[in-house]
Amino acid sequence: MSTADAPVVGLLRALASALGDLSPYVTSPAGLRILLSEVGHAVPDDADLSGGLTTFVPLAESLVALGGALADLDRAGAGAGADALFSVLRDVSEEVVALASSPPPTSLPSPWNQPEAWGELAASVLGHVVYERLEVRAPGVLSALVALGIATAQVVDETGVQVISPGRVVWDAIPALVSDPVGHLVQTYHWGTDPDAALMAAVARRLAEALNLSPTILLDDSAVGMFWNLDQRDADVAVPGISAKFPFSQGSGTASTAETLVITLLGIPDASRQGSIRGVGVVAEASGSVSAAIPLTDAVTLTLAGALDAGVAIAFRPGKVGLSTTAGGVLAGTVSASLLARPAQPWAFGDPHGTRIQTSRLAASVKAAASSVDVPELSVTLDGDFTAYLDLSRGDSFVTALLGGETHELPFTAGLVWSSRTGLRFVGGPSGGSGGAPGLSTTIALNLDLAGVLHLAGLTLGVGPAEHGGAIEALATGRLSLGPFTVTFKEIGLRTVVGAPADGTGNLGPLDVRFGLAGPEAIGLSISAAAVSGGGYLEANPETGTYVGVAELTLVGTVSVKAIGIITTRMPDGSDGFALLLLITAEGFTPVQLGMGFTLTGIGGLIALNRTVDADAVRGGLKDGILDSILFVKDPVKNADRVVASLDSVFPLARDRLVVGPLAEISWGTPAIVHLRLALLLDLPMPVRAIILAALSVTLPKPESPVVEIHVDAIGVLDLGKGQLALDASLHDSRILSFTLTGDLALRLDWGDQPGFLLSIGGFHPRFRPPPGLRPLNRLALQLTSSSNPMVRFEAYLAITSNTLQMGARATVRLSAGGFGIDGGGSFDTLIQWSPFHLEVDVAAWVRVTAGGTTILSLNLTLAVTGPAPWHLTGTAEFHILFLSVSVHVDLTLGSSPTATTAVETVDVPGLVWARVSRAQAWEAVLPATATPGAVIGGADADPTRVLAHPLATVSVRQNVAPLGLRISHVGAHLPAAGPATLGLTLTAPAGTVATPVTDLFARAQFADVAAEEKLSAPSFESFSSGVRLQPAAAASAGPSTACLAVVDTLELSSLDLPATPGAPAPALVSTPGGRPA
């Protein structure tokens, strides 16, 4: 392995690549301005930063050299390139360290012209930028660099709680690692003095997270629950301090682990020094299996495996290692070693060109097993995969005439197992065969016709082990023709089992011989008559407990009836269960007129018992036309494998669920140019879902010779449990002339916990973050070429959310030939915010000419427009030819921003809220479901200004003018008359009552300032307080003399920013002093 391929070199190469991103920050005023803004310092537009760049010149030169060293390493791929990379990395780190200690440039704005802030900018900030790049691009590499001490996310103790501070690069650690790796790691982890167990735990946690091992941090002594005796000689007990616990859920590489394997890392305290750590303990516990494969040669692999029910603890201290089992543990489980040989070319025994046996796999293993209840067992296994070749061409003329002169292959597995408990036994079976006897089997071609009725295509003979003996099978494959009926069968015949019972009492003396039927593996039926034709088949798979049947019949030459059935007798977890899926359709009958040119051309139905609908599986297959395997399937017998796989995927097994619904095919036009295939399904019981599967096909102008061909598959789901309506659609196999047309659509309407609305055709604005669970959407695209060279492509999208309107388009042209290439295009992206109105438009155009992969001519134009009030235009034009580059920047503002004197319509928000809650209609009194009124109010005319409340009732007041508890800066396009305010409602009442907020849904952007970026991804509506609910703390029984436990005294509207509205009587409630309902 070359130096350039070594793991450390690979890590440092990734670090060097991220360091290259620093160059734009330290070589231009614009880059330095961006760097300062990233750390939260807005630099005035008129600030001159060019003077500060001179300080960065040595670092910029080292970064240029670093780019050259990376290029040399890519070309060399050897030690010389790695040494140069190490040298330049050392230079870059030393430049950063020197930069941090140098005097700050006086031309930089405050506070960066001060020594302390300058040192933070030069070292920590630059290091943080590199850290963030690695965290996004290569988190696994970053975790390894943290382990090596080159990068750090320091563990900080704040009031006893561990947190992780912002990460950064440790610049002075890079030269130390390159020059003395071992010494650097010893110093990083303080090994030999006071080992830093907390840092080791944090680093181990990060590495585990990078490997998706879901670690759990343990901060508490009781988390482990036991002591670990890690060194019997010193009687040193390790108590868990800060430790990281790693439950392994899957294997990686050549090692695999069971779900129950747990590795714990913990500090070992020093009994002689209070609060000190002497070393680190690693405890491995397993009640499952652990294995590792070690390749010995290209063909032979050694596998070591074990499974323990107790833990093993290892104590690592400077200069010492201790090993023991966990306290109270009992060693039980298995340990094994095995050799596996898989030669590249099979090993042959016998005539290499005639009758012989070949092996493609040989295995030998030794296994020891122990437990607390059984006698230990030692077993040895020898087995392999073999193929016997029987060459009949060398037999006599009679055998050759009867069986043919072909060479037959007999694949099988065979082996011997010896156990100290059970002795020696034979194991084996057919290699990959689905029928035939276990052990040796072969199929002989017969091609015999008997009386024109029975045709035998072949005969499978097999012999193999059975319980207390062996089995012999003779299975035939062929067909039986009876008039218009033809029955096809596969591997049906007789099975003879010969055994030797242990007591010597068989039906033939010491032997026991039994005969029985075997098979069939599959059976098919076809019919060909004047009135009906077609066929189908039934296939059984006993191993999975699945039975599949597919049939298609044509009646009177036109009506086609198709049926697909799947019966499952075993659930996915292996438990017993029953599931049924039945799909029946009929087509070809006389169309039923529906009006306006529409006709019903197909009907059907689907029922799935103990199955559900996987909407995500449908959405994932829309682009591939998955509904063609569900809705009115074409030629189901021929495409049975694809159809059954699709049905199993879309309708997975689910206990106690039922899916049922009709299917229909609707056509339009004469001849029909529009076909719509539908399935209206209900997924029952609760939570109920209504699902629509639809496949639309349009062929213009004629179905037989279409110029335009559109195929759209869609799924709509009405989920009453989630409170969501979802629609997804995709174009597939669509074209205009010969031009491919693609694109996706998504609609979401939520009225549950997170209300919202979203409609997208072709995706979203580039800065929009779609909600979780929404599949990636392809642009609505038309490609005018059938290949990527030349390529002409147009894309567009339109999206509407509750906050924004988004639209955009892109055109791309690409052509290359003879080493030269040209590509160009243009795009625009538009974002419109409704209230307050705001517009953002980004326009770009580009053209580039290349020769041999190098750009020799390019032109790039960009323009960004925002507004109104004011309109702001920014743009760039960049021109490059050979070694000359020219760029022009435009920054223009038109109009002016609104000022304090600008006439803006205002609104009295507190007044409107108070007016709303003062109305009787805003109040509600509800009696608890467990209470009875005890008296009925009557005899008086209803007063529309008052609401009568029972003494046990829960009383609430609510309004929908504005959210409470949110700082209100505007109401739509209006401003609050008294300025921004945060409003609240307070109900006062006697003791014994409980006040809780009442919530309603509000659009945050209608009342508070929300950044444009946040509007792109913010939920349409959020839950805010809208009122107050007051209820008795305890409900007495509701009888005629019930005491009044809740009487509202006053209602007060308060604000953190405005004077409180004086308390006033609550006009909406009336209760009699005697405590009885009026």
pLDDT single digits (tens) 24-74: 777 777 777 777 776 666 667 666 666 666 777 777 777 777 777 777 776
The tokens of 245 are what?
């616990």
Give the pLDDT confidence score for residue 476 in this predicted structure: 83
pLDDT at 107 over 80: no
Residue 1072 confidence (pLDDT) above 50: no
pLDDT score, position 909:
87
The pLDDT confidence band at residue 744, using thresholds 50, 70 and 90, is very high
Q: Is the confidence at residue 493, as pLDDT, over 60? A: yes
| Residue bearing tokens 């011989």 | 513
Mean pLDDT of all residues in 867-885: 90
Mean pLDDT calculated for residue range 13-25: 74
Strands 975-976 and 906-907: parallel
Of the pLDDT bands very low, low, confident and very high (cuts 50, 70, 90), residue 823 is very high
Q: Is 465 in contact with 481 (CB distance < 8 Å)?
A: no
Find out whether 957 and 1051 touch, Cβ atoms under 8 Å: yes
pLDDT of 601 > 80? The answer is: yes
DSSP assigned state of 1042: -
What pLDDT, on the 0 to 100 scale, is given for residue 321? 57
Statement: residue 815 has pLDDT above 60: yes
* Greater pLDDT, 341 or 44: 341
The predicted-structure confidence for 150-196, as pLDDT tens digits, reads as follows 777 654 444 444 444 456 677 777 777 767 777 777 777 777 666 76
Asked which of 45-59, 304-318, 323-337 is least confident by mean pLDDT, the reply is 323-337
pLDDT, tens digit (0-9, with 9 covering 90-100), for 1006-1022: 888 877 667 666 676 78
pLDDT(324) > 70: no
Integer angstrom CA distances of residue 678 from 203, 420, 601, 716: 55, 64, 12, 11
Can you give the pLDDT at residue 984? 84
Distance CA(242)–CA(202), nearest Å, equals 9
Measured CA distances, 136 to 32, 96, 714 (Å): 22, 23, 35
Strand partners, 1063: none
133-142 mean pLDDT: 72
pLDDT reported for residue 1041: 34
**Segment 408-420 mean pLDDT:** 74
Higher pLDDT, 1004 or 1063: 1004
Per the rule left: phi > 0, alpha: psi between -120 and 50, beta: everything else, 944 is alpha
Calculate helix-pair angle for 126-137, 139-147, nearest 10 degrees: 130
Contacts of 810 (CB under 8 A, 6+ apart): 779, 794, 795, 796, 825, 826, 827
Kindly tell me if the per-residue pLDDT of 1034 is higher than 70: no
pLDDT at residue 559, rounded to an integer: 87
Residue with more model confidence, 692 or 21: 692
Interatomic CA distance for residues 722 and 755, integer angstroms = 10
CA-to-CA separations, 177 to 33, 62, 89, 101, 119, in angstroms, rounded? 33, 19, 11, 22, 23
> Is the per-residue pLDDT at 239 higher than 50?
no
In the DSSP assignment, the letter for residue 32 is H
pLDDT of 679 above 80: yes
Alpha-carbon gap, residue 789 to 815, rounded angstroms: 6
Mean pLDDT, to the nearest integer, of 1051-1072?
Answer: 45
pLDDT at 595 over 80: yes
Q: Which are the contacts of 817, defined by CB distance < 8 A and separation ≥ 6?
A: none
CA distance 5 to 7: 6
Higher per-residue confidence, 548 vs 448: 548
* Band of pLDDT at residue 309, cut at 50, 70 and 90: low
The residue ranking higher by pLDDT, 666 or 282, is 666
The residue type of 580 is L
Distance CA 1043, CA 30 (A): 74
Q: H-type helices in 803-958, by residue range?
A: 909-917
**Between 385 and 1070, whose confidence is greater?**
385
Supply the mean pLDDT for the chain.
75
Q: Give the CA radius of gyration of the chain.
A: 39
State pLDDT tens for residues 212-223: 555 554 443 433
742, containing H or E segment: strand 739-742
Residues 18, 137 contacting (CB under 8 angstroms): yes
Tell me the pLDDT band of 2, cut-offs 50, 70 and 90: very low
What percent of the chain stands above pLDDT 70?
Answer: 66
Task: Round to the nearest angstrom and report the end-to-end CA distance of the chain.
Answer: 94
What pLDDT does residue 995 have?
Answer: 82
Can you tell me whether residue 508 is helix, strand or coil? strand
The distance from CA 675 to its chain's CA centroid, rounded to whole angstroms, is 35
pLDDT at 288: 57
Note the pLDDT of residue 452.
Answer: 74
The whole-angstrom separation of Cα 453 and Cα 449 is 7
pLDDT > 90? residue 667: yes
Reference 649, options 594, 581, 743, 717; nearest CA is 581
Q: What average pLDDT does the segment 548-574 reach?
A: 85
Q: What does the pLDDT read at residue 936?
A: 56
Cα separation, 712 vs 780, in Å, equals 12
pLDDT at 693 over 80: yes
* pLDDT for residue 585 is more than 90: yes
Rounded to an integer, the average pLDDT of 461-467 is: 68
Q: Is 842 helix (H, G, I), strand (E, B) or coil?
A: strand
Mean pLDDT of 420-442: 55
Tokens of 434: 């689905």
Check whether 201 has a pLDDT greater than 80: no
β-pairing, 532-541 vs 522-528, is antiparallel
Q: What is the mean pLDDT of residues 335-343?
A: 80
Question: Contact at 8 Å (CB) between 268 and 280?
Answer: yes
At residue 238, the pLDDT reads: 41
- Please give the pLDDT value at position 236: 41
Strands 522-528 and 216-218: unpaired
pLDDT bin (cut points 50, 70, 90) of residue 229 is very low
Q: Which tokens is 788 given?
A: 């990527």
- What is the pTM for the complete model shown? 0.53
CA 1017 to chain centre: 20
Which range is most confident: 60-69, 385-394, 459-468, 869-878? 869-878
Buried b (16+ CB within 10 A) or exposed e, 457-473: bbbbbbbbbbeebbbbb
pLDDT at 521: 76
Three-state SS annotation for 811-832: EEEEEEECCEEEEEEEEEEEEE
Residues in the chain: 1078
pLDDT at 647 over 80: yes
As a whole-number percent, the residues of the chain with pLDDT over 90 amount to 20
Q: Cα dihedral angle (751, 756, 761, 764), rounded to 10 degrees? A: -150
596 vs 228, which has greater pLDDT? 596
Contacts with 272 (C-beta within 8 Å, 6 or more apart), sequence order: none
pLDDT value for 160: 41
Q: Say if residue 749's pLDDT is above 70.
A: yes
The continuous run of DSSP H or E covering 696 comes out as: strand 689-700
Identify the band that residue 392 occupies on the pLDDT scale cut at 50, 70 and 90.
low
| CA count, 13 A, side-chain hemisphere, 819 | 4
228: pLDDT confidence band, cut at 50, 70 and 90?
Answer: very low
In this predicted structure, what is the pLDDT of residue 989? 65
The residue among 261 and 952 whose pLDDT is bigger is 952
Average pLDDT over residues 782-793: 88
Residue among 259, 237, 208, 219 at smallest CA distance from 326: 237
876 pLDDT higher than 70: yes
